[in-house]
Amino acid sequence: MAGRVAGKVALVTGAAMGLGAETARRLAGEGAAVLLTDRDPAGEAVALAIVAAGGQAAFCLHDVASEGDWTAAVAAAVELFGKLDILVNNAGIASSSLDLMTHSLEDWRRILSINLDGVFLGLRYAGPALAVQGGSVINLSSILGKVAIPNAAAYCASKGGVLLLTKAAAVEWAPLGIRVNSVHPGFIDTPMVANALQASENGNEMRDALIAAHPMARFGVPREIADAVVFLASDESSFMTGAELVVDGGYTAQ
C-alpha cells in the first residue's frame, strides 16, 4: 500500500477509542502496519475494521504501566511485522476535579502511572527495537502540559512531565536516528472529554466555557490530532525532534 508511512511499522497505545483509534486508522491508511494496544479489548474490533478496509493491523491487550506488558507488546510488533519504526505513546487517563488540599496520593500515583510512567516505559522498552533502523516516537502530551487549569494538578504534572521527557529522549537519541516529538492537543471531542464533562455537576456550562476558551470556538476532532501524528511519523518531519506540536484551536495563543 502506498502512502506517507508506507513500509513502516507502528505501535499505538490506547488505541481502542478516541485519538488512539483514529491515529491507528490514519497510519494504516497511509501504508503502515499497525499494532494497536489497549487495556480495553474493544481495540480488537478497531484492528479488524482496519484489516477489512485493506490495511495491516493487529491488536494486543496492554497495560502501559506494566513492564511485562511492554516487553510483550514490542515483541508482538516485531514478530508480526518484522520491525518497529513508529511508537505513538497515546494512552492516558483524566480524572474528576481534584483539589490539591484533598488530593489523595493514590489518585496522584494512578494518574502519573499511566500518563507519565507509561510513556517512560514505552521509550525504555521500544527504544532498542527503534534503534535497529531509526524511527519516530510521538508522545501525546496536552495543552495542560504547557498551561494549567484548577483542580487538575496530577494531570497537568503528568503531561508537563511528558513534554520534558520527550525533549530529554530527543537529545539522547538523535545520534541513534530516533526522532522524539510531542503533540499537545487542545480539548478534543473524544470519549475521555465527554466522560469528564458528564461527571461534572455543571457539565453543559463547563463545555460552553471550554469551547469559548478556544479562539476557533469549537472542540477539535480526533482526525486533526491523528493528522499531526502522521506528519511526525513520516519523513515529512525529518528535521524535527524535541519539538512541541500544538494543535489547540488557538487556546494557548492567548
Name the residues annotated as catalytic.
155
CA torsion sign, 43 to 247 to 199 to 205?
negative
Cβ atoms 37, 20 nearer than 8 A: no
The C-alpha cell 490539591 sits at 100
What Rg do the C-alpha atoms of the chain give, in angstroms?
17
**Is residue 170 within a helix (H) or strand (E), and if so which, with residue range?**
helix 153-173
Count of residues making up the chain: 254
Helices (H), 184-221: 191-199, 203-212
Supply φ then ψ for residue 87, to 5 degrees. -120, 125
Nearest-angstrom CA–CA distance, 144 and 208: 18
Residue where the block lists cell 487538575: 152
β 135-140/178-185 pair status: parallel
- Measured CA to CA, the distance from residue 167 to residue 179 in angstroms comes to 10
**What H or E segment, with its residue span, contains residue 71?**
helix 67-81
